[in-house]
């Protein structure tokens, strides 16, 4: 986004959409579900882009597209300025790797830690078994595990240790981008902080770029450099972390931030001013998709979809900030 930057963004999404055809009932007609709707993002090397939104907003689909596990219906994904197609998943695998939420389900229980971590090397035919062992030992040290765990199995490890193994597997190919899908939400508080510290250290040490998907906004605020807020398949606000948390613009972002429960006993439970129901993504509301739940809804929001407005670093998709912004309905 920032001008004057000579190197292309390490990861760029241009107008990416993913539409599923959902069949309702046994003989029902198929209806399109826009899981990801015209999303454009770009990450510079070393960025941590926090992606937040409610379940069903499309953030997991976006992650799958980046990992090459789903092909976008339209639009382009570029790594280092080169477009990637669905056909070269193996090449993509060297550059983008995932870390998943549940360390109990992300490691194959039948495989030893050595086999799990060295799998990427074996799949891509890198080195012989001796050099693969050496690489596994090195990466175990990097993620803070002793090399004697190589012969252990996932069932012998704690949640935190498993997540370290998952991180080791993601990093052994020296990828540029790591997609972290809720990497700490299944972990205990005391372990979560260790994993967050580790992710932060690894980023500084190896110049990694993260796409960090989380529903925990406190964690996103802590780790991210940029934050994108997603609602019903669209990025409704995107900004550097400081700008987004200090001066949120979109009413949905405001509601999200208001619902963060910090350990401050004097504050009580906040009122988010959001309606209870997340809309059906197959039949999204007209106009601005957020208008039925919006506390600052205007007449125009019901009919006209807002356009993206951006002042350099901070972009938002809301009628409150358009050129011809109208009067808010009280």
Based on CB atoms, which residue is closest to other proteins, 262 or 327? 262
Based on CB atoms, which residue is closest to other proteins, 4 or 265? 265
Residue 61 contacts residue 27 (beta carbons within 8 Å)? no
Based on CB atoms, which residue is closest to other proteins, 260 or 305? 260
Based on CB atoms, which residue is closest to other proteins, 289 or 300? 289
Site for other proteins in 271-300 (CB under 8 A): 271-272, 274, 276-278
Options 223, 230, 294, 297; binder of other proteins; rule CB under 8 A: 223
Options 11, 13, 157, 297; binder of other proteins; rule CB under 8 A: 157
Task: Tell whether residue 125 is a contact of other proteins (CB under 8 A).
Answer: no
| Helix 113-123 vs helix 129-142: crossing angle, to nearest 10 | 120
Cβ at position 122, least distance to other proteins in Å: 9
Query: Could you write out the DSSP letters of every residue in 163-193?
Result: HHHHHHHHHTT--SEEEEESTTTTS-HHHHH
Task: Tell whether residue 193 is a contact of other proteins (CB under 8 A).
Answer: yes
Cβ at position 98, least distance to other proteins in Å: 5
Based on CB atoms, which residue is closest to other proteins, 28 or 265? 265
Q: How many chain residues bind other proteins (CB under 8 A)? A: 95
Site for other proteins in 203-222 (CB under 8 A): 215-219, 221-222
Based on CB atoms, which residue is closest to other proteins, 96 or 318? 96
Nearest to 37 by CA among 61, 12, 20, 17: 17
Options 18, 34, 59, 164; binder of other proteins; rule CB under 8 A: 164
Q: How far apart are CA 19 and CA 33, in angstroms?
A: 5
Start-to-end Cα distance in the chain: 35
Options 7, 190, 323, 327; binder of other proteins; rule CB under 8 A: 190
Options 8, 75, 127, 200; binder of other proteins; rule CB under 8 A: 200
Task: Tell whether residue 241 is a contact of other proteins (CB under 8 A).
Answer: yes
Options 23, 30, 31, 148; binder of other proteins; rule CB under 8 A: 148
C-alpha to C-alpha distances, 271 to 254, 259, 295, nearest whole angstrom: 11, 8, 11
DSSP 8-state class, residue 92 = H
Task: Tell whether residue 69 is a contact of other proteins (CB under 8 A).
Answer: yes
Site for other proteins in 39-58 (CB under 8 A): 54-55
Based on CB atoms, which residue is closest to other proteins, 224 or 320? 224
Site for other proteins in 245-274 (CB under 8 A): 245, 255-272, 274
Q: How far apart are CA 273 and CA 244, in angstroms?
A: 19
C-alpha to C-alpha distances, 315 to 38, 212, 214, 253, nearest whole angstrom: 15, 19, 20, 12
Residue 305 contacts residue 290 (beta carbons within 8 Å)? no
Residue 220 contacts residue 214 (beta carbons within 8 Å)? yes
Q: How far apart are CA 98 and CA 170, in angstroms?
A: 6
Task: Tell whether residue 124 is a contact of other proteins (CB under 8 A).
Answer: yes
Q: With helix as H, strand as E and coil as C, how does 231-266 read? A: ECCEEEEEEEHHHHHHCCCCHHHHHHHHCCCCCCCC
């Amino acid at each position: 986004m920032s001008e004057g930057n000579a190197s292309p963004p390490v990861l760029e999404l241009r107008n990416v959409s993913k539409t599923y055809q959902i069949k309702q009932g046994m003989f029902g007609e198929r209806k399109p579900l826009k899981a990801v709707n015209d999303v454009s993002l770009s990450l510079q090397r070393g960025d941590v882009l926090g992606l937040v939104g409610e379940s069903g907003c499309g953030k997991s689909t976006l992650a799958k597209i980046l990992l090459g596990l789903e092909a976008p219906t339209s639009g382009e994904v570029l790594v280092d300025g080169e477009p990637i197609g669905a056909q070269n998943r193996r090449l993509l695998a060297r550059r983008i790797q995932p870390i998943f939420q549940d360390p109990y389900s992300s490691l194959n229980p039948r495989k030893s830690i050595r086999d799990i971590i060295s799998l990427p090397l074996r799949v891509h035919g890198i080195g012989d078994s001796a050099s693969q062992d050496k690489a596994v030992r090195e990466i175990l040290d990097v993620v803070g595990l002793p090399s004697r765990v190589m012969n252990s199995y996932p069932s012998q490890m704690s949640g935190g240790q498993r997540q370290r193994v998952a991180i080791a597997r993601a990093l052994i190919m020296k990828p540029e981008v790591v997609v972290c899908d809720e990497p700490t939400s299944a972990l205990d508080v005391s372990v979560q902080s260790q994993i967050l510290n580790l992710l932060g250290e690894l980023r500084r040490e190896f110049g990694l770029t993260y796409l960090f998907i989380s529903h925990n906004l406190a964690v996103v605020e802590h780790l991210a450099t940029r934050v994108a807020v997603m609602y019903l398949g669209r990025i409704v606000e995107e900004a550097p972390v400081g700008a987004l948390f200090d001066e949120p613009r979109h009413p949905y972002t405001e509601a999200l931030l208001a619902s963060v429960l910090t350990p401050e006993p004097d504050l009580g439970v906040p009122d988010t001013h959001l309606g209870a129901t997340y809309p059906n993504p197959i039949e999204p509301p007209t106009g601005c998709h957020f208008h039925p739940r919006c506390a600052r809804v205007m007449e125009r929001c019901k009919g006209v979809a807002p356009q993206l407005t951006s002042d350099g670093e901070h972009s938002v998709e809301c009628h409150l900030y358009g050129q011809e912004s109208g009067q808010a309905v009280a």
